[in-house]
Copies of this chain bind each other. A is one copy, B any other.
Amino acid sequence: MKQLKIIKIGGGIIDDAVSLAHFLQLFARVEGPRILVHGGGKGASEMLRALGLAPKLVNGRRITDAPTLDVVTMFYAGKTNKAIVAGLQQNHVNALGLSGADGNVIRAVKRPVREIDYGFVGDVKPAGVNAKLLGALLELGLTPVICAITHDGQGQLLNTNADTVAATVAVAMSQQFAVELHYCFEKNGVLLDVNDDNSVIDNINLASYAELKEAGIIADGMIPKLDNSFDALGQGVHKVIIGHALKINDSLKTVLCLN
């Protein structure tokens, strides 16, 4: 089976033009077919404030009302996506930017209203990913650059969690490829000691993950990230790799596998 790398970057790297340019140079050296998935950054929040649209939070979760959706669409699909695509072209990578609406690449469902009405937020499943088209675009030598704006097929765009988009695309592409899903952030990997960036755990499998949680070594914000990663592995993703965005070609990283 052919390899495919799906690499997800977040706000930390996107907010800093110098870091982003460095990352794009490193990304250009990643071999073989690859897809880049990006989140937003602080820019969208700053623009919302500049336009007098205060970020709306309920229980700490952002609510995407219509004016907020407009701004995040402009920011993620317009500014950030096109900056990344132009930067990759400069590095001789034939990048093609996509929202979920483009080529019907990711069809989502507006999150049902229960205790909280999240507004125009989309939930995604692997069946909603147009894996056939993504495969055809890769076959043309293109590198898809996906932002976390999806659509419902009825003309409505939806704001979607970028980690989830990356994992869902990874699961969907696992029918055609041996997929490595890379989550890039500002640490070198999953750490034994959160205060020591050199204490990277090289490998975690389901059994050792249970032990690390039991021992309180993996806690807080890391748990949902790793739960989602093992969930993706359970659905056919070959490997999940967690590491620093500016060290994607280094061996320093945490590799997650089921066994």
Decide: A103 near B96, CB < 8 A? Known: A79-B70, A86-B151: yes
Within 8 A of B (CB), among A73-104: 73-79, 81-83, 85-87, 89-90, 94-99, 101-104
A73 touches which one: B82, B94, B140, B157 (CB < 8 A)? B82
User: Shortest distance in angstroms between A16's beta carbon and chain B's nearest beta carbon?
Assistant: 16
Contacts of A98 in B (CB 8 A): 96
Q: Looking at chain A's contact residues, is the secondary structure mostly helix, strand, loop, or mixed?
A: helix
Q: Are A156 and B86 in contact (CB under 8 A)?
A: yes
A51 touches which one: B50, B89, B90 (CB < 8 A)? B50
Decide: A157 near B74, CB < 8 A? Known: A50-B51, A99-B97, A133-B140: no
CA distance A140 to B105 in the complex (A): 13
Q: Are A89 and B151 in contact (CB under 8 A)?
A: yes
The number of residues on chain A lying at the interface, defined by a beta carbon within 8 Å of a beta carbon of chain B, is 40
Within 8 A of B (CB), among A101-145: 101-104, 133, 136, 140, 142
Asked if A59 is an interface residue, CB under 8 A from chain B, the answer is no
Contacts of A234 in B (CB 8 A): none
User: Residues of A with Cβ closer than 8 Å to B?
Assistant: 47, 50-51, 70, 73-79, 81-83, 85-87, 89-90, 94-99, 101-104, 133, 136, 140, 142, 149, 151, 153-157
